[in-house]
């Protein structure tokens, strides 16, 4: 296992590529989905291909849209976290799931259930874009704390 802590800065991830990253946002709160969409739409390599407000919509969109990454609220209403992550992974193991939640008690269960990243909601736009790039390129489990990311290669 590889573990590294890194401070965020402009040169943290060099992403000079034409490859696009397709993302679905899964959150029961419209304001949160809107905020994430606005944060990510400004990056030319990240495409928001879908948004879901519940687990049923999320799984349906994953099946039809085949995203690279799903950003998932760790406490989406009406959804058991472990079950939804397992259902996503049952559709395809190629999707990386990022849990966006402030409850650190969800970190270990999320990783045990196969998420690729766990990020707190106080993340900035640049940090979120960087996290998506890291996870997409290197398949690293990621935990953000303050200005540091902890990277764990499993």
User: How far is Cα 59 from Cα 70, in angstroms, rounded to an integer?
Assistant: 10
- pLDDT for res 34: 96
Tell me which DSSP letter residue 28 carries: S
- pLDDT for res 69: 96
- pLDDT for res 40: 95
Q: What is the CATH number of the domain that holds 16?
A: 3.40.50.2300
User: How far is Cα 7 from Cα 14, in angstroms, rounded to an integer?
Assistant: 15
Query: pLDDT tens digits for the chain (154 residues)?
Result: 444 444 444 444 555 556 899 999 999 899 999 999 999 998 999 999 999 999 999 999 999 999 999 999 877 766 776 788 889 989 988 899 998 888 877 777 887 888 888 888 888 888 888 888 888 887 665 555 555 555 555 4
Instruction: Provide the domain count of the chain.
Output: 1
- Domain residues for 54? 2-153
- pLDDT for res 4: 44
């Amino acid at each position: 296992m590889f573990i590294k802590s890194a401070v965020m800065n402009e040169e943290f991830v060099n992403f000079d590529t034409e490859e696009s990253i397709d993302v679905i946002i899964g959150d029961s709160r419209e304001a949160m989905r809107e905020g994430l969409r606005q944060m990510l739409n400004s990056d030319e390599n990240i495409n928001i291909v879908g948004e879901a407000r519940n687990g049923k919509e999320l799984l349906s969109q994953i099946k039809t849209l085949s995203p690279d990454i799903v950003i998932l609220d760790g406490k989406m209403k009406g959804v058991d976290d472990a079950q939804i992550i397992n259902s996503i992974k049952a559709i395809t193991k190629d999707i990386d799931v990022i849990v966006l939640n402030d409850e650190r008690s969800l970190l270990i269960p999320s990783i045990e259930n196969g998420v690729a990243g766990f990020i707190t909601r106080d993340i900035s736009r640049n940090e979120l874009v960087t996290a998506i790039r890291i996870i997409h390129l290197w398949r690293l489990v990621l935990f953000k704390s303050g200005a540091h990311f902890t990277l764990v290669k499993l």
